[in-house]
């Protein structure tokens, strides 16, 4: 994995564990020689990932919608900063520029990005690993919900392992590097669906 799209919040929650996690992720990726592709912001966890990766000598590529550039949230210190027309173009560029997806704590936008990465993997639009860092148990309920979707049958057995989960960034990155793509829906026959 040469680059990972990192999905996370642009907010800074009161509990310092979240900003510390973001900084640790940025440093770890840079130390491992993995570039960061992210939302291009300088605020919150986004900014912490970017700043920490840059401080550790890493590559950071920001992709930000033009509407957010004008609000002065763009991170002008990125290795590259791409300004795009909207969110759809942004997420397509994330997919094109990265070798996988890493989600750390965040809000609604982060969830949108995570579920799209999983959905696109199920369908066959990409065959890249989708990692979820369950820092401080933040995603416990989401992991349980994903498990419930598998148990009920809304996620096929062939796709049950697409979301790769760990509480530690090093362990998660190792799991992501070992990821073997699953059979996509596009390759399945109607009887298998």
Per-residue pLDDT of the chain (193 residues; tens, 9 = 90+): 999 999 999 999 999 999 999 999 999 999 999 999 999 999 999 999 999 999 999 999 999 999 888 776 899 999 999 999 999 999 999 999 999 999 999 999 999 999 999 999 999 999 999 999 999 999 999 999 999 999 999 999 999 999 999 999 999 999 999 999 998 888 877 777 6
- Give residue 38's domain range: 3-179
Residue 82: inside a domain, yes or no?
yes
Residue 186: inside a domain, yes or no?
no
Residue 149: inside a domain, yes or no?
yes
- Report the candidate in 36, 30, 38, 25 with the shortest Cα–Cα distance to residue 3: 36
CATH code at position 148: 3.40.50.450
Helix, strand, coil % (nearest 5) of the chain?
A: 50, 15, 35
Residue 193: inside a domain, yes or no?
no
Residue 10: inside a domain, yes or no?
yes
Dist. CA 93–CA 72, nearest whole Å: 21
Q: What is the DSSP letter of 190?
A: G
Q: What global pTM score does this model have? A: 0.95
Return the residue matching tokens 């639009």.
Answer: 125
Return the residue matching tokens 């907010």.
Answer: 11
Number of domains in the chain: 1
Per-residue pLDDT at 189: 76
Per-residue pLDDT at 109: 94
């Amino acid at each position: 994995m040469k680059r990972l799209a990192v999905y996370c919040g642009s907010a800074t929650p009161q509990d310092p564990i979240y900003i510390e996690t973001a900084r640790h992720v940025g440093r770890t990726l840079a130390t491992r020689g993995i570039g960061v592709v992210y939302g291009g912001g300088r605020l919150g966890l986004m900014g912490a990932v970017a700043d920490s990766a840059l401080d550790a000598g890493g590559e950071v590529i920001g992709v930000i919608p033009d509407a957010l550039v004008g609000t002065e949230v763009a991170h002008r210190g990125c290795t590259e900063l791409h300004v795009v027309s909207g969110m759809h173009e942004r997420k397509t560029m994330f997919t094109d520029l990265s070798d996988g997806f890493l989600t750390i704590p965040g809000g609604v936008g982060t969830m949108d990005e995570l579920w799209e990465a999983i959905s696109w993997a199920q369908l066959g639009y990409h065959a890249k690993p989708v990692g979820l860092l369950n820092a401080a148990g933040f995603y416990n309920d989401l992991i349980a919900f994903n498990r419930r979707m598998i148990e009920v049958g809304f996620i096929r057995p062939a796709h049950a392992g697409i979301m790769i989960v760990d509480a530690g960034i090093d362990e998660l990155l190792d799991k992501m590097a070992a990821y073997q793509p699953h059979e996509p829906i596009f390759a399945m026959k109607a009887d298998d669906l």
